[in-house]
Structure 1
């Protein structure tokens, strides 16, 4: 088990390094000069001397490899640089916004698991029946509809037409707990729709497969109750692939949260990243991508370790 953990951890560290390096180098292929954008006012082109002076001040005149190794050295010391536009420390802004994105993802994950796993179990136990067909159709629709369409439709019906919840925004939990949860509810639900459908389909498939195993028939023949069989044996064997898909889908949820945060005006890392890309703010983009990639990679590391606990065969 220790060897398995070490190998997975080293692979995660290497992958984080590769992703960070790729994003750093890819930024320089994006058209647009941050220095020129900072000095531009309307359609007026800034003087070339002023642009060059600002490039020197921001360190953009140095060779790209030197900038890259400087970034790596600073990042290892916990310094992600300062924003080109407002000169605030990038790490401070990320630490302010990261809990909001994590809160949104956690709420969406809890909703998805609470809906997807029971629905998948119910469908697997009633294969081919009306409930199974209805839930499968519902899951197909949920996966097919784009997340921004779901968010916009929820705002239209629940906020504008029915006036049940606010359309969007953010207040701190310490200021107004009830309003904070109301503002969190719709983006979390919108983010969980496709996730719930994916968990449902994986749970249904794996449970249905396990139920066809010979050892399940043997257990039933020995007189084990159906509830005990499902709880101790079938569900445990079926949750390994479900745990894996949860880790992968949470990476997709990070991408989906960018759109959801924008639609519902939720001030998390997603909206911060969009603004940084629009402004060609390299330190903000690099810092945000580094944090998000690290979260995703090590989340999948934890899922791999959980999978090894659920299914000891994976360790070998």
Structure 2
């Protein structure tokens, strides 16, 4: 198990290093002077030179990269020229919205999808199976921003149960903040639940066709016991893969939903930084998101080993 985990950690570190090179290089291949791009074409030469000095753009390429990499390792992501605050502070502030939103969405998605996938697989070919997968297909096809607008119309405008947008702030209480996240969480969760339910069903059906499942049934085990104690555990590896991918998407890919609900999360921060040409913020947020995705993938790999010990016993 230790060897398996060490290999996965090493792969993660190499991935992070490669990602840092790519993210840094993207800033370098932007046409024109990055300082002038950030300040706008009407900026004075003195302002451009001052920003070049402040951001280190006048230093050699390798020097800038290693200074930036060293700053990342010590928690210094640079300073936003738009907000005049450290980028890491901006990320922490926005993460307080994006992380609970992603976790709430993932929990809702999992609670819905796993039982539906198991239920459909246990009744393969029946009318309930067809209906469940038909609804899941509709959930996959519907864009989440359109579904978000439907939720706003129903729960915020018609029923007046939940806020249509904005974020109350954790300093104003737990429940007001959670209420602000319910509709965006549902808008994100239901399409993801549709995908996860289909994967759960497909994976479970594959496992139920294995020889050892037929042997267990031939020994007299009930269908329910075979399903939950033998088949489900072995069917979880593809499910864990999708869960890891979905959490990464929910954390990093919510720009549209955050703009629909006017939530001050990471996605909205990236959108604002791009429109304001604050490249240092874009650079810092992207590398942070890459690190989070790598960590999530590492946790998923370790989850594989827990579900199926054969993976680390062969390493």
TM-score for both structures, normalised by structure 1: 0.92
Shift of the 189–33 alpha-carbon distance from structure 1 to 2, 3 Å rule, reads farther
Aligned to 2:201: 204
- State the alpha-carbon separation in 2 of the partners of residues 39 and 14 from structure 1: 34
Task: Specify every segment of 5 or more residues in structure 1 that has no aligned partner in the other structure, as ranges.
Answer: none
The number of residues matched between the two structures is 313
Q: Match for 1:100 among 97, 101, 104? A: 97
Aligned to 2:28: 28
- State the alpha-carbon separation in 2 of the partners of residues 233 and 270 from structure 1: 41
Answer yes or no: is 1:144 the counterpart of 2:141.
yes
8 Å Cα contact 1:147-1:256 kept in structure 2: no
Shift of the 122–29 alpha-carbon distance from structure 1 to 2, 3 Å rule, reads same
Aligned to 1:132: 129
Aligned to 2:154: 157
Aligned to 1:248: 245
8 Å Cα contact 1:142-1:197 kept in structure 2: yes
- State the alpha-carbon separation in 2 of the partners of residues 33 and 137 from structure 1: 52
Partner-residue secondary structure (3-state), 1:28: helix
* Alpha-carbon distance, 1:254 to partner: 2.6
* Alpha-carbon distance, 1:204 to partner: 0.2
Partner-residue secondary structure (3-state), 2:264: coil
- State the alpha-carbon separation in 1 of the partners of residues 67 and 166 from structure 2: 38
* Superposition RMSD in Å: 1.9
* Alpha-carbon distance, 1:38 to partner: 5.8
8 Å Cα contact 1:83-1:281 kept in structure 2: yes
* Alpha-carbon distance, 1:21 to partner: 1.6
Which stretch has the larger CA shift, 103-112 or 234-243?
234-243
8 Å Cα contact 1:111-1:192 kept in structure 2: yes
8 Å Cα contact 1:206-1:241 kept in structure 2: yes
- State the alpha-carbon separation in 2 of the partners of residues 230 and 211 from structure 1: 8
* Alpha-carbon distance, 1:79 to partner: 0.9
8 Å Cα contact 2:27-2:34 kept in structure 1: no
Partner-residue secondary structure (3-state), 2:306: helix
Aligned to 1:121: 118
* Alpha-carbon distance, 1:156 to partner: 2.7
TM-score for both structures, normalised by structure 2: 0.92
Shift of the 57–244 alpha-carbon distance from structure 1 to 2, 3 Å rule, reads closer
Answer yes or no: is 1:275 the counterpart of 2:272.
yes
* Alpha-carbon distance, 1:50 to partner: 3.4
8 Å Cα contact 1:159-1:167 kept in structure 2: yes
Which stretch has the larger CA shift, 119-128 or 164-173?
164-173
8 Å Cα contact 2:121-2:201 kept in structure 1: yes
- State the alpha-carbon separation in 1 of the partners of residues 60 and 156 from structure 2: 51
- 1:198-219: CA deviations, max 9, x gaps? 1101110111111122222221
- 1:205-234: CA deviations, max 9, x gaps? 111111122222221222212332222111
8 Å Cα contact 1:34-1:281 kept in structure 2: no
Aligned to 2:12: 12
Aligned to 2:168: 171
Answer yes or no: is 1:264 the counterpart of 2:261.
yes
- State the alpha-carbon separation in 2 of the partners of residues 172 and 31 from structure 1: 39
Shift of the 150–34 alpha-carbon distance from structure 1 to 2, 3 Å rule, reads farther
Task: Specify every segment of 5 or more residues in structure 2 that has no aligned partner in the other structure, as ranges.
Answer: none
